[in-house]
Structure 1
């Protein structure tokens, strides 16, 4: 009888593991100067899988988005300058993200809890609440992923970003799909951007002086 119970438990282990996803395998490691230098430059927002209904609704409004990271190695911040196409118009935004080196996280205070702009999920957060995201880089595939609210499966989510061009390397997309499934989400939950709807590239040349001025600071 005891042996039978043991065999039953062993047979259920794969099922139990599938029902209890471990978010630990999608969190990053400590952020170093090399990581920040690697992050410097232009990135494209590819898509997200989000359980938070408000975030999901906002993500559906983003037609296309690309942005620039400029790291400050002295004060541990990332200047974020983004060009987002929403409702067939281009919006330019500039803000700063705090770097939590040891925890491998990026964080932001104060501006929206529901805007998926500001690198998706960082917009105008109300009050002084800190919102954080785990950074997972895929240097080999020239991409990175941000993981949100991993402590709560009802609202957690993932976002994917690629470098140089809006087309995603198959290997990078595979890593993202693997992470999505590890959180118990389905591939059908992913909301992708559509580069064909981009309205910002043609306007960037006009806005470039504005971006450069923001990058240089006062």
Structure 2
């Protein structure tokens, strides 16, 4: 009886392996190519946290998008955030510190540092940040994409990574791009930068 039982178990292993989720590893190290990949405009899609502080914080966001401009030589990222909180648009700028060797980004908010472990799925149109990855009582994961609407495959990768880290799908807080109130301000900033660039070109031509 032992041999047939062993053979039966072995025959199931490929099936079990195929059904097991594929977890996205932490990006170690962060390279210039990595920074180029996450450069540009991104939308905050969803997140789930076990940390009570983080959990309450993300619930304030109805919609959010941001621009990241990496500086390879200084190991920093210039961040411009447009967030719809309540019934108003909030605009903030910040500078993220890059720790290449352990694949983390550091952001200071009101004097408090917050680390995010950068995770890059196979789909280059998305990325994730993990918080407190070694602490099951605080662990969390946030999803970002280059478009506000994601495909079922992109969302499923996020859900798989949540399961890999003991986070339930029911814990996810989603944003809604339809509730965004920051597009007018973004447009205003784009027009201001365009005028500044045109003015700089005129000054250069006069020199």
CA distance in 2, matches of 1:211, 1:179: 38
CA distance in 1, matches of 2:128, 2:120: 6
Match of 1:150 among 117, 133, 136: 133
Of 48-57 and 100-109, more deviation after overlay is shown by 100-109
- Asked whether 1:86 is paired with 2:85, we answer yes
Q: Which residue of 2 aligns with 1:135?
A: 118
- Return the index of the structure with the highest Cα Rg: 2
State how many pairs are aligned.
Answer: 176
CA distance in 2, matches of 1:139, 1:178: 13
Give the drift of 1:85: 0.2
Structure 1 ranges of 4+ moved more than 4 A: 209-213
- Asked whether 1:66 is paired with 2:65, we answer yes
Unaligned runs of 5+ in 1: 11-23, 112-123, 214-218
Could you say what the CA RMSD is over the residues aligned between the two structures, in angstroms? 2.3
Q: Deviation per CA, 1:113-163: give whole Å up to 9, x if none.
A: xxxxxxxxxxx244xxx4311101135341000000012100110000001
Match of 2:157 among 136, 150, 175: 175
- Asked whether 1:195 is paired with 2:184, we answer no
Unaligned runs of 5+ in 2: 10-22, 197-207
Give the drift of 1:183: 1.4
- Asked whether 1:186 is paired with 2:185, we answer no
CA distance in 2, matches of 1:141, 1:25: 12
The answer to whether the Cα contact below 8 Å between 1:141 and 1:169 also exists between their aligned partners in 2 is no
Q: Deviation per CA, 1:79-114: give whole Å up to 9, x if none.
A: 1101000002101100011111111111134x2xxx
**Secondary structure of 2:159 counterpart:** helix
The answer to whether the Cα contact below 8 Å between 1:26 and 1:179 also exists between their aligned partners in 2 is no
The answer to whether the Cα contact below 8 Å between 1:26 and 1:147 also exists between their aligned partners in 2 is no
Give the drift of 1:182: 1.1
CA distance in 2, matches of 1:76, 1:174: 32
CA distance in 1, matches of 2:68, 2:122: 16
CA distance in 2, matches of 1:57, 1:210: 35
CA distance in 2, matches of 1:125, 1:188: 32
**Secondary structure of 2:120 counterpart:** strand
Q: Deviation per CA, 1:38-97: give whole Å up to 9, x if none.
A: 111100000101111121111111000000000001101011101000002101100011
